[in-house]
Amino acid sequence: MDNSIIAYYKKGTPAAQIFQYLFLLIFSNRSMYRDLLSGRNTPTFAKDTVYRFMKST
């Protein structure tokens, strides 16, 4: 099985879910830091997962 085809990270977070969170941040006019501080839209994954996702793409 080719690992480049699988779109999951070690803890099982789908890449599409991370992308959707980042995409929604653009339209809510908030930074990820402010979004996490407010606690209104807390993702099920850590911020390090988002940073690793952005670095890998």
Q: Who wins on pLDDT, 52 or 7?
A: 52
- Grouping H, G, I as helix, E, B as strand and the rest as coil, residue 11 is coil
**DSSP annotation of 3:** T
Residue ranges covered by each domain of the chain: 15-56
* CA 57/CA 22 separation, integer angstroms: 13
What pLDDT is attached to residue 38? Answer: 86
| Burial classification of residue 18, based on how many CB atoms lie within 10 Å of its CB (0-12 exposed, 13-18 middle, 19 or more buried) | buried
Q: What is the pTM of this model?
A: 0.70
Structure tokens given for 8: 């999951």
Q: Is the pLDDT of residue 5 over 60?
A: no
